[in-house]
Structure 1
């Protein structure tokens, strides 16, 4: 990484910038953000230069431009290449960038992260590497999804972080390629995440909530209060990474328990 801000951005720098872009709310892409300041120091750029790069990356995001918000409209060919590369391989992005940050951070300990070359070749080392990489991936997906939904459940508006889940639309076990794709995620409360996972509710093609027969016919007052008001109501759409219609359709066809006839 170069320390000169006058030089062109390297691929590694843009990758780390994109990694951070995915995890920050759109409204926090500014040079005063501590996370931007920290990464800027690691890659040898000023916070202003990094913030400018993040806004340029936003100009490549269809969820941003489609809503009328625009970036600086000065993205480079390299920006587009990195965007395309990692939209095709989210798992590589999460692990590679976290390991790259550890290599750059020579003064601070990075808990829960390891560099592949430092892992012992024995079974325990391999197991440890798997566990750590799994944690990296899960943390990336959670932060990317929750920041896109402004830290609120898209169905209820619940905003207490400990009650929120980055819920997969197509389950982790069903689609390896999209396990970490933020477009395969919804920010839900723990209760509604469980109901979604079990097919008790889903979304239609217009992102409106559909309740299952069992929920619509329940006599339980708590469940009536928690769910009945959601029927046919649109979710709060994310700032970025709009849920993929294909993933939503998959959930509706393969998970949803149906409605009364």
Structure 2
């Protein structure tokens, strides 16, 4: 593209909209994906007339603003953009554990609409859904928006765990889901907080939802007596659960689970366990 060759010879400052789109991609990918060869890095670069190298570098520079990475010595470019900091603090804040990504996702949608950038550019793996024609316009809008935000939340949570179940380490993507600590239906104001999510395999997710599995505030798993009694003594399943019981979960790269959410949910598990 001609615009890319221009960028190589004439440095062009990043705009807030461009940094915002980069941040949206940042929260949905793991650090190992911030490379110029990543197809989503390439797609975004094409849409904003940047080189893939420039987008990859921007993602790395955003990483330096994450307190968890900063503690590990990740510094990015020493003279990172002030716009990077402004956009980060506007949408993430000082503590990613309390970040609600609703405003960031809304901003990405607005920018995409204004610049003609489709959702599959800034939402990895996104596939648009067909909404029934008879449905009212407002209902179609709400359904499409909800689906988009769910996909973005899912990416944010799963990428933080490297797309692996935090309990079993299972890494088959089709079998790993983003589980809400506080249920989706009961926590509308926390639905898009990645710290309200944990990557769990399909089986562990179902067990968690049914309080057959508890996760303590210090990130240790505990299987209920009912679940342990349901497997035959000496079986492979019994041995598997015994090995995992009371073990620490894998910690995420970013968006560590909120301890208050975990404490509240763990208490619910304990109450259920006492009443069984």
The answer to whether the superposition gives a TM-score over 0.5 is yes
Residue of structure 2 in register with 1:117 after alignment = none
What SS does structure 2 have at the residue aligned with 1:173? Answer: helix
Residue of structure 1 in register with 2:241 after alignment = 227
User: Please, which of 122, 128, 131 is the counterpart of residue 112 of structure 1?
Assistant: 128
Q: Report Cα offsets for 1:126-181 as digits up to 9, x if no partner.
A: 11001100110111011111111111111011111111111111222333332122
Q: Supply the distance in 2 between the matched residues of 1:107 and 1:42 (Cα, whole angstroms).
A: 9
Q: Supply the distance in 1 between the matched residues of 2:250 and 2:154 (Cα, whole angstroms).
A: 17
Residue of structure 2 in register with 1:97 after alignment = 108
Residue of structure 1 in register with 2:39 after alignment = 34
User: Please, which of 157, 162, 176 is the counterpart of residue 150 of structure 1?
Assistant: 162
- Which ranges of structure 2 fall in alignment gaps of 5 or more residues? 93-98, 122-126
User: Number of matched residues?
Assistant: 252
Q: Which moved more, 1:146-155 or 1:227-236?
A: 227-236
Q: Report Cα offsets for 1:64-118 as digits up to 9, x if no partner.
A: 234454433443332222222223541232243145335434799986289xxxx
Q: Supply the distance in 2 between the matched residues of 1:84 and 1:198 (Cα, whole angstroms).
A: 37
Q: Supply the distance in 1 between the matched residues of 2:246 and 2:118 (Cα, whole angstroms).
A: 52
For residues 131-170 of structure 1, the aligned pairs below 5 Å read: 131-170=143-182
Alpha-carbon offset, residue 125 of structure 1: 0.7
Q: Report Cα offsets for 1:213-238 as digits up to 9, x if no partner.
A: 3234x142376355332211111111
For residues 60-209 of structure 1, the aligned pairs below 5 Å read: 60-87=65-92, 88-105=99-116, 112=128, 124-209=136-221
Quick one: structure 1 residues 57 and 227, their matched pair in 2 at CA, closer, same or farther if it must change by over 3 Å?
same
Quick one: structure 1 residues 113 and 46, their matched pair in 2 at CA, closer, same or farther if it must change by over 3 Å?
farther
- Which ranges of structure 1 fall in alignment gaps of 5 or more residues? 115-119
TM-score calculated relative to the size of structure 1:
0.83
Q: Is it true that 1:247 corresponds to 2:261 in the alignment?
A: yes
Q: Supply the distance in 1 between the matched residues of 2:249 and 2:72 (Cα, whole angstroms).
A: 16
TM-score calculated relative to the size of structure 2:
0.79
- Structure 1 stretches (4+) deviating beyond 6 angstroms? 106-110
Q: Supply the distance in 2 between the matched residues of 1:108 and 1:12 (Cα, whole angstroms).
A: 15
Quick one: structure 1 residues 19 and 236, their matched pair in 2 at CA, closer, same or farther if it must change by over 3 Å?
same
Residue of structure 1 in register with 2:124 after alignment = none
Alpha-carbon offset, residue 199 of structure 1: 1.9
Q: Supply the distance in 2 between the matched residues of 1:61 and 1:258 (Cα, whole angstroms).
A: 38
CA RMSD of aligned residues (A): 3.0
Kept in 1: contact 2:112–2:118 (CA 8 A): no
Kept in 1: contact 2:20–2:107 (CA 8 A): no
Q: Supply the distance in 2 between the matched residues of 1:109 and 1:20 (Cα, whole angstroms).
A: 11
